[in-house]
């Protein structure tokens, strides 16, 4: 048995793969396009681990996905792959439509064909789990009840609209074709391997570099924050016990304004790595122009997943954010490689110069290197 994970070199996907293989020996086939957000260094600890097989390619490449499904016959496909940054979607929505909408469509079609041809027992056990976001529900007024799974879809950014479209495709593939799908809609994650263009890692990295901490507008926008390993445990739980066709909201019961988050990060850094001049990192906070169309508040009602599947987050915000700041302080090389861009050379450094999408790496024949890259052509 094995599972196929897409987007497993990104922030949440790589945490998921690491967690999965820490808990089970069931192999993971990891299909990732390695966009700017994909970082194989996140998975360096799996080098030489035969349970992890990395494949460089896109979910939009139907033929590649069909080949992987036929070759590995995974019992489940977990779709983490996406363009995920709201700010980038405002500057260039095209990539979001390509991957989140058209890519999900191609993936669903490849999976549907494979699933339909499976013997009855394998077909019954098969699952397609789609990882989505609370942003599809739009923005809440102060005091309004948190998003339940019944909340209408009201996406406001190109990113959230593209994720909403993908959720609708997944839903339709279940209702029209019977594909056994599960969907999770999660709030803001934070933790290790978070790309430092998102709020929390950006604040840590900029603070340490003596740079401004850019808070959009008044900083009173509210998000619900969940430690990434809690998101991973929720996904494992939904995969194991979720009802086919159901949607599960996942959140941390932890609404906070952005400015509070930034103050917390500064306070932790003041304690763990004080500035040389004795001043607080808060002095670096700068209010900058707001994000266009910025959603004011998200809040997740995660009672369904708790009631039906017995899942609750293990971390409080206080424990999770401390672990996160400590992780960034302990991994300056990871940060430096992201900042210099050298993390993008990981594939060629570890698999030979020809290792681009479609190339078979020089090391693929070495049994010790189970983290193989294989091609789409
Ligand atoms: P990320 O941007 O860190 O990682 C995305 C990964 O997908 C990268 O490794 C990238 O290379 C890969 N990818 C992009 N396009 C691809 C394609 N066409 N084919 C294959 N791989 C491709 O994103 P993340 O924060 O890890 O989010 C993962 C998923 O979880 C996304 O679907 C996102 O919408 C969802 N989500 C994220 C959050 C959050 O707070 N980060 C919260 C809720 C839901
Ligand atoms: O809610 C779930 C979503 O959370 C996921 O679907 C997205 O993939 C993920 O990127 C995240 O989206 P956000 O837009 O909420 O994340 P981001 O870290 O970009 O911003 C968090 C909040 O902080 C948001 O209100 C914007 C604000 N912000 C962000 C940055 C990068 C700032 O004030 N300053 C900044 O520099």
Q: Is 216 among the residues known to form the active site?
A: no
Nearest by Cα to 9 from 52, 49, 61, 51 = 52
Sorting pLDDT into bands at 50, 70 and 90, what band is 346?
Answer: confident
**pLDDT per residue over 18-59, tens digit each?**
999 999 999 999 999 999 999 999 999 999 999 999 999 999
Is 199 close to ligand 2, i.e. is its CB under 6 Å away?
yes
The ligand with the least distance to the CA atom of 201 is: 2
pLDDT of residue 25: 98
**pLDDT per residue over 174-210, tens digit each?**
999 999 999 999 999 999 999 999 999 999 999 999 9
**Mutate-to-test residue for ligand 2 from 35, 86, 302, highest number of ligand atoms within 8 A of CB:** 86
**Mutate-to-test residue for ligand 1 from 42, 55, 84, highest number of ligand atoms within 8 A of CB:** 84
pLDDT of residue 360: 30
What number does the ligand 1 atom closest to the CA of 95 have?
A: 15
DSSP, collapsed to helix, strand or coil, labels residue 223 as strand
With a Cβ cut-off of 6 Å, ligand 1 is lined by: 6-7, 9-13, 31-35, 37-38, 58-60, 80-84, 99, 103, 131, 133, 163, 186, 188-189, 195
* Residue reference for tokens 């996905």: 65
Q: Is the pLDDT of residue 66 over 60?
A: yes
Over residues 99-122, mean pLDDT: 98
Structure-block tokens of residue 148: 């339940």
How many Å lie between the centroid of ligand 2 and the Cα of residue 198? 6
Q: Is the pLDDT of residue 319 over 50?
A: yes
What number does the ligand 1 atom closest to the CA of 35 have?
A: 11
Q: Is the pLDDT of residue 311 over 90?
A: yes
- For the chain, what percent of residues have pLDDT higher than 70? 93
pLDDT of residue 350: 77
């Amino acid at each position: 048995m094995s599972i196929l994970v897409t987007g497993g070199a990104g922030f949440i996907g790589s945490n998921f793969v690491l967690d999965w293989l820490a808990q089970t020996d069931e192999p993971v086939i990891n299909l990732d396009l390695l966009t700017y957000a994909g970082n194989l260094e996140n998975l360096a600890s799996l080098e030489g681990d035969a349970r992890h097989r990395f494949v460089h390619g896109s979910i939009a490449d139907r033929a590649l996905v069909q080949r992987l499904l036929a070759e590995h016959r995974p019992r489940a496909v977990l779709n983490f792959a996406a363009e995920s940054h709201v700010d980038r979607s405002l500057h260039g929505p095209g990539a979001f439509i390509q991957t989140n909408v058209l890519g999900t469509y191609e993936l669903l079609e490849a999976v549907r064909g494979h699933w339909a041809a499976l013997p009855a027992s394998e077909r019954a056990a098969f699952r397609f789990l789609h990882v989505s976001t609370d942003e599809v529900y739009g923005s809440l007024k102060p005091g309004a009840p948190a998003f339940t799974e019944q909340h209408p879809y009201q996406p406001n950014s190109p990113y959230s609209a593209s994720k909403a479209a993908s959720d609708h495709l997944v839903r339709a593939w279940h209702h029209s074709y019977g594909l056994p799908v599960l969907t999770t809609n999660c709030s803001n994650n934070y933790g290790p391997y978070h790309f430092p263009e998102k709020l929390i890692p950006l604040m840590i990295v900029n603070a340490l570099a003596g740079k401004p901490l850019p808070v959009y507008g008044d900083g009173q926008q509210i998000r619900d924050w969940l430690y990434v390993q809690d998101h991973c445990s929720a996904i494992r739980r939904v995969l194991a016990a979720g009802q086919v066709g159901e949607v599960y909201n996942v959140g941390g019961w932890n609404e906070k304004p952005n400015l509070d988050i930034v103050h917390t990060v500064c306070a932790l850094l003041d304690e763990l790595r004080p500035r040389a001049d004795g001043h607080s990192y808060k002095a670096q906070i700068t209010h900058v122009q707001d994000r266009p169309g910025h959603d004011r508040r998200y809040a997740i009602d995660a009672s369904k997943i708790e009631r039906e599947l017995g899942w609750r987050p293990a971390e409080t915000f206080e424990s999770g954010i401390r672990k996160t700041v400590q992780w960034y302080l302990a991994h300056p090389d990871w940060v430096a490689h992201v900042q210099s861009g050298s993390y993008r050379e990981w594939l060629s450094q570890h698999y030979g110069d020809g290792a681009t999408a479609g190339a078979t790496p020089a090391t693929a024949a070495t049994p010790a290197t189970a983290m193989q890259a294989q091609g789409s052509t």
